[in-house]
Chains A and B, each alone.
Chain A
Amino acid sequence: MSVLGNTDGERATPHDATAVDTRDARSVEHTLLQASALIATAASARRRQPARPTAVRHLYPSQLAATAGRLIDHAEHFVVVTTAGRPELTSVFAPGLRALEAARARGVPARVLLGPRAVRASRARLLRLSAGGCEIRVDAGEPREILLIDGVLALIVPPAEAPGQRPTLVRDPSMVGVTCQLLKGTWNTARPLREFHGAVARLRAEPAQDVLSCLRDGLTDEAAARRMRVSLRTYRRKVAQIMEELGITSRFQAGRRAAELGVLPAGDL
């Protein structure tokens, strides 16, 4: 069928073309009017639905920064943020921390639970938040990205590689409540920020790593001193320095703390 649409099988003549053209124009108008009526029907169906916010809503990554900022800006009672500081979420994380500073200034209590990478990424801002009265702790086991607002709303951002999972906004009271309680449990086992800072940076540096690898390998002090080509006394002094850095008094505690802080060099035990 040509664009001039001849359904009668007659040869197209200028005369027929005019008739066909008018008929098609009317059909376009008719179609447009139908579309308009359908939209009006959809709108009125929407109006009949109760205006209830949905219990579970999925978001696109592009909406995350704005949504997180808006939620924190409107928080009144309590904000909890947990994040591993994943690189792809930097554009969400940085504005989120800024909004958190503003919330603190408004007097809203806030808690932040971080993975080690997030601590390194935002040192200055975290120190400011901490000075502003925000409680900050570090969990070596890379926490999920979760934003809890006033105990009634949760914004959850799953890892990119998690199958079938999408950024989700939840209002369901049981889901938000259970998430709150589980996070409190995680909070209980996390270390305060001031214990984590500085110590980790120094412990990840070369000199400390050599000593830590001897300790991790379970060498006797003598064998370790030989491996590091230092005297036994020097080796023991280095170990004592590390223990002081970690703020503990026994080798057992040193092992535990090194594991928790994630500063052990790679390798099998």
Chain B
Amino acid sequence: MRTNHLSTAHLSTARLSSVARSRAGTAVPGGDPTAAGPAPEADRAHVARAPEAARQAQVAGAPDEADDLDSALAEVRTLLETIVSRHRDLRSGQGTIVPLAPDEAGLAGRIDRLCGTARRGLAAVIAPEEEPGRLIGDALRRVQSRPEGAPRVRVLHTRAGAPPERALPDSWRRAAVPPMHLLLVDRATALIQVESPLGPHAAQVSEPTLVGTLQSLFDGLWRRSSPLASPEFDGRGGSRLARAVLRALNEGVTDEAAARELGMSVRTYRRHVAEIMARLGARSRFQAGVLAAELGLLGPHAPR
């Protein structure tokens, strides 16, 4: 990943040349073995490293100067490589987060464009009664109502609120997340907005690590969120009752206590439990618990 701007070939040549010319103007090159100079003892140690250089330096009679110049040049080259690399790292993230002005007109257009480009899937966390949650919610509903194959849409609500009437099953869930807005498009681009003491901050993110992290956090929350408001759980008795029965099972009260609480006979309560188990595909209550947990039906735990 660290490309070397400085041409290797150029420097190798330069290095060899520098040895040959290190005493430019002080001695006659060309192999006069009787030229004055310090004993070549020190050179032998360097012969293995740069035989040509050592031989020439030995002949030229100033081995230490040549080596010093060599290593100095090598050091400078290495240092420059490091500087280029670190400068690149400082800049590699540039432009991958684009802060957005929270003005509505531009944001609506941007949301629509992003949703229009979605092919694989859209995920969002919104407070649907607030901006830009309402804009995002509307855009996603338009995506879902596309006649030709629409990409998968998943939406987490941060506030208690009914899902839209025409929402497809298992696309809207409730989550215990503090207020914020997030729109993830095809796992590649994200639109984010959050409040702060200094006012709202919004941005469009395209950096892979950051988008990947947002996606991963979203997936985890989605798995743990309750779809109990979804039409899927609607049937005889309605979703509210199903939710209540699941809550009773979750609390571990006896069937008698649960039936009393729900104002029905024990037999009726057990019939509802059997219905929920059938819908989950569970053969026992233990299995029902496992499946309910894995499907994220049970929502966040009540504080103890």
- A residues near B (Cβ < 8 Å) are 3, 14, 17-18, 21-22, 24-26, 28-29, 31, 39, 54-60, 139, 141, 143-144, 146, 156, 158, 162-168, 170, 172-175, 177-186, 188-189, 191, 215-216, 218-220, 248-260, 264, 269
Contacts and interface: CB of A to CB of B under 8 A. Distances in A.
Nearest to A212: B286
Contact of B196 (A60, A165, A173): A173
B93 A189 contact: no
Contacts of A269: 281-282, 287, 290-291
A185 B28 contact: no
A218 to B, nearest CB: 3
B97 A18 contact: no
Contact of A185 (B195, B221, B292): B221
A180 B177 CA distance: 10
A179 B212 CA distance: 12
Nearest to B301: A189
A178 B180 contact: yes
Contacts, number: 223
Contact of A184 (B30, B178, B289): B178
B24 A21 contact: yes
A181 B14 contact: no
> Lowest 8 A-B CB distances belong to which pairs?
A255-B289, A25-B24, A56-B93, A218-B283, A185-B177, A177-B194, A174-B201, A256-B289
B176 A188 contact: yes
Contact of B217 (A179, A249, A260): A179
Q: Residue among B17, B25, B212, B284 with the most chain A CB within 10 A?
A: B284
A161 to B, nearest CB: 11
Given A251-B285, A259-B293, A178 B17 contact: no
A22 B30 CA distance: 13
Contacts of B195: 177
B3 to A, nearest CB: 15
Nearest to B283: A218
Contact of A56 (B207, B221, B224): B207
Interface of B: 14, 16-18, 20-21, 24-25, 28-30, 80, 89-94, 96-97, 99, 125, 175-180, 182, 192-196, 198, 201-203, 205, 207-210, 212-214, 216-218, 220-221, 223-224, 249-253, 281-294, 298, 300-301
A156 B285 contact: no
Contacts of A14: 28, 30
Nearest to B289: A255
Contact of A255 (B14, B182, B217, B287): B287
Nearest to A36: B76
Contacts of B209: 58, 156, 158, 162, 164-168
A24 B17 contact: yes
A181 B286 contact: no
Contacts of B221: 182, 185-186, 189
A250 B287 contact: no
A168 B210 contact: yes
B274 to A, nearest CB: 13
A181 B24 contact: no
Contacts of B179: 181
The CB with the most chain B CB atoms within 10 A, among A22, A170, A249, A264, is that of A170
Contact of B224 (A58, A166, A189): A189
13 contacts: A14-B30, A158-B212, A162-B209, A172-B99, A173-B201, A178-B194, A191-B301, A216-B290, A250-B249, A250-B253, A252-B286, A252-B289, A256-B289
B213 A179 contact: yes
Nearest to A24: B21
Contact of A215 (B193, B210, B286): B286
Find the residue from A57, A156, A178, A189 having the highest chain B CB count within 10 A. Answer: A178
Given A57-B89, A179-B217, A182-B217, A252 B97 contact: no
A215 B284 contact: yes
A163 B208 contact: yes
B300 A255 contact: no
B125 to A, nearest CB: 7
A164 B1 CA distance: 12
Contacts of B24: 21-22, 24-26, 28-29
Contacts of A186: 217, 220-221, 224
B51 to A, nearest CB: 14
Nearest to A142: B220
Contacts of A170: 97, 210
A158 B213 contact: yes
A58 to B, nearest CB: 5
Contact of A218 (B201, B207, B252, B282): B282
B288 to A, nearest CB: 6
A252 B300 contact: no
B89 A3 contact: no
A269 B294 CA distance: 11
Nearest to A35: B76
Given A216-B290, A255-B287, A139 B201 contact: no
